[in-house]
Amino acid sequence: MAADHQVMMLNKGTDGSTMVFEPAFLSIEVGDTVTFVPTDKSHNAETIKGMTPSADATFKGKINEEFSYTFDVAGVYGYKCLPHLPMGMVGLIQVGGDSSNLEALKAVKVPPKAAARFEELYTQLQ
Ligand SMILES: [Cu+2]
């Protein structure tokens, strides 16, 4: 049974940090869907180039729109809110317990606040 997970796009997270996806880390199964919910305005969710298991496995939601994506390829996905990437608005999704493309993610340059959040998110990989 494929599951449907929800990620909220928030100006302020429950821990008080600003411009966040919540939860920022998800571990899901192949075939599961994630729905990004525009709880607050001015956010989107889109994969970061080089931070997906394959060049085809990408997604891009529109600003202020609820957006769903079904993950058919195992591996780790790094994604961002385009307007708030410099403020560290990023998230990480692990699919099928696979982290074989992690080194590729770590090689991608992102702004310092985003890099710091990714470092924290990488510690949650299973
Ligand atoms: Cu945002």
Overall size of the chain counted in residues: 126
112 residue type, one letter: P
Tens-digit pLDDT profile for residues 75-108: 999 999 999 999 999 999 999 999 999 999 999 9
Query: Following DSSP, what letter does each residue of 32-45 receive, concatenated?
Result: -EEEEE-SSSS---
Q: How far is the CA of 74 from the centre of ligand 1 (A)?
A: 26
Q: How far is the CA of 1 from the centre of ligand 1 (A)?
A: 31
Query: What does the pLDDT read at residue 1?
Result: 78
Q: How far is the CA of 77 from the centre of ligand 1 (A)?
A: 17
Tens-digit pLDDT profile for residues 60-70: 999 999 999 99
With contact defined as beta carbons under 8 Å apart, do 96 and 53 qualify?
no
Average pLDDT over residues 23-31: 98
Domain membership of residue 97 as a residue range: 4-122
| pLDDT, greater one: 1 or 126 | 126
What is the pLDDT of the chain when averaged over all its residues?
A: 97
Average pLDDT over residues 121-126: 96
CATH code for the domain of 94? 2.60.40.420
With contact defined as beta carbons under 8 Å apart, do 79 and 47 qualify?
yes
Q: Classify burial at 24, counting beta carbons within 10 Å of its beta carbon; exposed 0-12, middle 13-18, buried 19 or more.
A: buried
**Per-residue confidence at 53, pLDDT binned at 50, 70, 90?**
very high
Quote the number of domains for the chain. 1
Q: How far is the CA of 108 from the centre of ligand 1 (A)?
A: 20
Q: Is the pLDDT of residue 118 over 90?
A: yes
On whether 43 is known to bind a ligand per the annotation, the reply is yes
**Per-residue confidence at 22, pLDDT binned at 50, 70, 90?**
very high
Q: How far is the CA of 31 from the centre of ligand 1 (A)?
A: 26
Exposure on the CB side of residue 70, measured as CA atoms within 13 A: 4
Q: Is the pLDDT of residue 109 over 90?
A: yes
Strand-pair partners of 34: 5, 69
